[in-house]
Amino acid sequence: MVNHPLAATRLTAMREKNTEPGSFRAALHELTTMLVYEAARAFPVERYPIDTPVAPTEGIRLANPPLLVPVLRAGLGMADSALALLPESSMGFVGLARDEETFQPRAYLESLPADLSGIPVLVLDPMLATGGSLEHCCRLLAERGCTDITVICVLAAPEGIARLERSGLPLRLVTASIDDQLNDKMYIVPGLGDAGDRQFGGMPRF
Ligand SMILES: O=P(O)(O)OC[C@H]1O[C@H](OP(=O)(O)OP(=O)(O)O)[C@H](O)[C@@H]1O
Ligand SMILES: O=c1cc[nH]c(=O)[nH]1
Ligand SMILES: [Mg+2]
């Protein structure tokens, strides 16, 4: 979990119900930078020779830049800042919408490389609630041979964390908060509401 005063202030702006969509998107953008920065501590690097204007020395580059996979819609608001920190990365896309009666994810977009063996993947979705959506996304990646998945989210519910743990998928989770629980509509409590609607508009359902 990323526990930092600057992350906490962005998270507070996102939780506050009167935060306008523009400020919500700005806070998500900045918080994503911090979450990706922390997640990237674990990335392997390689050394290679470079020249400064003064002398030869050794440079560092990522040994294996990850594929970035935002989960539409809400993960779209994390895509730009992740790509800014990882300009060497490519991006795939998964589109999922949770059915608000059954709470099952409905897939409407799958734009991923066919073979992900040997390629680490950073999945971007601000919300881990029941875990159905992120489990579905990570299964798509594992079916393509991915064995190294990092899920980056803003808020995680204990129920969703337990589900990902039970899934046996090869993943680790980086989050800014583990909240208390889910309500009867499967929204995270205290949470921040619907992360897609808060960025892009829509009807409150919680
Ligand atoms: O853990 P779960 O119970 O599956 O819920 C989490 C999912 O819900 C949200 O997306 P949503 O389905 O609302 O789509 P949206 O991004 O288009 O709003 C969120 O971005 C996750 O993908
Ligand atoms: O609290 C929640 C749960 C699912 N999806 C959201 O956007 N928010
Ligand atoms: Mg939504």
pLDDT tens-digit map of 123-146: 999 999 999 999 999 999 999 999
The answer to the question of residue 57 being in a domain is no
Q: Does a structural domain hold residue 150?
A: yes
Determine contact, residues 119/66, Cβ cutoff 8 Å: yes
CATH (domain of 148): 3.40.50.2020
Residue 52: inside a domain: no
Annotated active-site residue 98? The verdict is yes
Cα dihedral sign, 14-191-166-98: negative
Answer yes or no: is 144 within a domain. Answer: yes
Strand partners, 16: none
* Closest listed ligand to the CA of 188: 2
State the Cα–Cα distance between residues 83 and 36, nearest whole angstrom: 10
Tell me which of 80, 102, 106, 115 is the catalytic residue.
102
What is the rounded CA–CA span in Å between residue 131 and residue 44?
A: 28
- Residues 101 and 99: their CA atoms lie apart, in Å, by 6
Look up the ipTM and state it.
0.98
| Pocket test residue of 96, 100, 152, 203 for ligand 1, highest count of atoms within 8 A of CB | 96
Active site residue 102: yes
Atom 2 of ligand 2, residue of closest alpha carbon? 187
> Does residue 36 belong to any structural domain of this protein?
yes
Rounded to whole angstroms, how far apart are CA atoms 151 and 125?
A: 8
pLDDT in tens, 29-86: 999 999 999 999 989 999 999 999 999 999 999 999 999 999 999 999 999 999 999 9
How many separate domains does the chain show? 1
Closest CA to 117 of 149, 88, 79: 149
Chain-centroid distance, C-alpha 86? 14
- The domain of 188 spans 5-45+64-197
Query: Is the CB of residue 173 less than 8 Å from the CB of residue 164?
Result: yes
